[in-house]
């Protein structure tokens, strides 16, 4: 047994980007999990500086980001853009802080660990800078990792049902406000999303690449390979935005190297860390945003053998909170690993 976080010497923790949807959840998760916080500082843009936030740690005044101040903290959680992370994360880490970055800036750097603690905690090493994966990937690999150990993964085909929280608090607000507009017969507009989101489906998340896939889709391939330690994994994704708030769903088909059955896969996933087996379809029990929202564990269900790959095919459906396992929870779990 590893010691519980609270028995360890407390750390001075900084959250940069504390006003965003992910930053706010980071504060909540640190508190809920009893992370040993000696001091918590919340950094934001100049614009937000001076605002007071109610947090489980009491009232906190937002401070304008200053690298010279932030680098003095033991642990720095970055919930900022990739550009901002690229500019500041290496400096903060070389000054001695442990920096956990939620952006994609360093995820593909072979020197930087990309960690989902349940799956590849052993890859942490001694790097001071650690990358937190893409939300869709973090949720997905909780199921893929144990299945790979048990059966070997050859091919992975994913279609996603991604919530508006992936575009931050503004994304969720646009969903709510524009849905109200549509129901009231008022004009529906869009600024966060490329098209109106109410009662619609948008098969684009992030920018398109040369190969026709979006960056979001390629992240799932690239990051799954790195986290699972399968550099040649055949994986593809279709990433789709739908009108939900903050839990991502994913429809997954895998071809395994060794034969697999639904029963054997279910037994593996029932024991998997971070997974809540949610698979009693006869009673209407399967993963859904309605239940997965606000939960740490990722729901996995609809597990069934897929004969498209003979005895080596498996289908399942996962649903996880995009702001928790998809972002803030995983970042705090990484911080716990460094204690």
- Residues within the interface to its own copies (CB under 8 A): 155-157, 159, 161, 175-176, 179-180, 183, 194-196, 199-204, 208, 211-213, 234-236, 238, 240, 242-245, 249, 251, 253, 262, 281-282, 284, 286-290, 301-308, 313, 315, 317, 319
Alpha helices in the chain (DSSP H): 21-32, 67-70, 82-94, 117-120, 135-151, 168-183, 215-228, 262-270, 289-292, 329-337
Residue 298 near residue 253, CB atoms below 8 Å: no
The least CB distance from residue 123 to its own copies, in Å, is 25
Residues tagged in the binding site annotation for NADP(+)? 19-22, 47-48, 165-166, 322
Least separation, in Å, of the C-beta of 298 and its own copies?
14
With beta carbons less than 8 A apart as the criterion, state whether 203 and 224 touch.
no
Quote the least distance from Cβ 46 to its own copies, whole Å.
33
Instruction: Check 88, 148, 237, 248 and give the catalytic one.
Output: 248
Cβ 235 to its own copies shortest distance, Å:
7
Question: How far apart are the C-alpha atoms of 196 and 202, rounded to whole Å?
Answer: 9
**Which residues 6+ apart lie within 8 Å of 177 measured at CB?**
none
Closer to its own copies at the Cβ: 62 or 163?
163
Catalytic residue list contains 135: yes
Give the count of beta carbons closer than 10 Å to the beta carbon of residue 307. 9
d(C-alpha 179, C-alpha 185), whole Å: 10
Cβ proximity to its own copies, 217 vs 336, nearer residue: 217
Rg (CA), the chain: 20
* CA dist., res. 277 & res. 280, Å (int): 9
Beta-carbon contacts of residue 73 (< 8 Å; ≥ 6 apart):
12, 13, 14, 39, 41, 97
Closest CA to 79 of 30, 149, 117: 30
- 88, 135, 148, 237: which is the annotated catalytic residue? 135
Task: Please name the residues in contact with 25: beta carbons below 8 A apart, sequence gap of 6 or more.
Answer: 323, 324, 327, 328, 329
Shortest Cβ 284–its own copies spacing (Å): 5
Residues tagged in the binding site annotation = 19-22, 47-48, 107, 162, 165-166, 241, 322
List active site positions. Answer: 135, 248
């Amino acid at each position: 047994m590893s010691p519980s976080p609270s028995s360890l010497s407390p750390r001075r923790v900084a959250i940069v980007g504390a006003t965003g949807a992910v930053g706010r959840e980071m504060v909540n998760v640190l508190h809920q999990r009893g992370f040993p916080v000696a001091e918590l500082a919340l950094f934001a843009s100049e614009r937000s500086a001076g605002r007071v936030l109610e947090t489980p740690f009491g009232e906190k005044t937002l401070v304008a980001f200053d690298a010279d101040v932030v680098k003095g903290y033991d642990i720095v959680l970055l919930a900022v853009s990739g550009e901002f992370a690229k500019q500041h994360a290496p400096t903060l880490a070389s000054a001695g802080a442990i920096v956990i970055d939620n952006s994609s800036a360093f995820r593909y750097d072979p020197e930087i660990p990309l960690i989902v603690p349940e799956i590849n905690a052993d890859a942490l090493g001694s790097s001071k800078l650690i990358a937190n994966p893409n939300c869709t990937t973090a949720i997905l690999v909780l199921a893929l990792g144990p299945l790979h150990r048990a059966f070997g993964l050859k091919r992975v085909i994913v279609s996603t049902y991604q919530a508006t929280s992936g575009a931050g608090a503004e994304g969720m607000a646009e969903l709510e406000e524009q849905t109200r507009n549509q129901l009231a017969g008022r004009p529906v507009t869009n600024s966060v999303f490329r098209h109106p989101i109410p009662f619609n489906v948008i098969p684009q998340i992030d920018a398109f690449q040369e190969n026709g896939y979006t960056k979001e889709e390629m992240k799932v391939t690239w990051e799954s390979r790195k986290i699972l330690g399968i550099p040649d994994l055949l994986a593809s994704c279709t990433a789709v935005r739908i009108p939900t708030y903050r839990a991502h769903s994913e429809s997954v088909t895998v071809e395994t190297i060794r034969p697999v059955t639904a029963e054997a896969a279910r037994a593996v996933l029932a024991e998997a860390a971070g997974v809540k087996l949610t698979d009693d379809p006869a009673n209407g029990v399967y993963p859904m945003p309605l239940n997965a929202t606000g939960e740490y564990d990722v729901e996995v269900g609809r597990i069934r053998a897929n004969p498209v790959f003979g005895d080596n095919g498996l289908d399942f459906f996962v649903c996880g909170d995009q702001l928790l396992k998809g972002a803030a929870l995983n970042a705090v779990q990484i911080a716990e690993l460094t204690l």
